Amino acid sequence: MPRRKSSIKRKRADKTKHQHNLKIKQDLKKTLKKFQSLISGKKLDEARAFLNKVYSKLDKAAKKGIIHRNTASRKKARLTRKVPKAA
């Protein structure tokens, strides 16, 4: 348990940031799962349109440092390859 006032404030701020980051990660996972369901359901037109939303979420998470930028780039590349394979 922190004793100094600054340590107590830092712990409180870290908890808030952690909750915020978790919310963004969960939202990203939901978006990715929805995209996967569109691919598996052979709804390719919807999947192509939804891909822009997925890109946006990945880029925003990478920009805020929630996921690494190379991880975002790798996921985008893999998702892009899935659309033509499903056709």
The residues spanned by each domain of the chain are 5-86
Cβ count within 10 A of residue 72: 20
Give the closest residue to 84 by CA, choosing from 53, 60, 51.
Answer: 51
**Residues 11-40: pLDDT tens digits?**
999 999 999 999 999 999 999 999 999 999
**Residues 32-69: pLDDT tens digits?**
999 999 999 999 999 999 999 999 999 999 999 999 99
Q: What's the average model confidence in pLDDT over 4-9?
A: 94
Domain boundaries 5-86, corresponding CATH code = 1.20.58.110
Q: Give the pLDDT score at 8.
A: 94
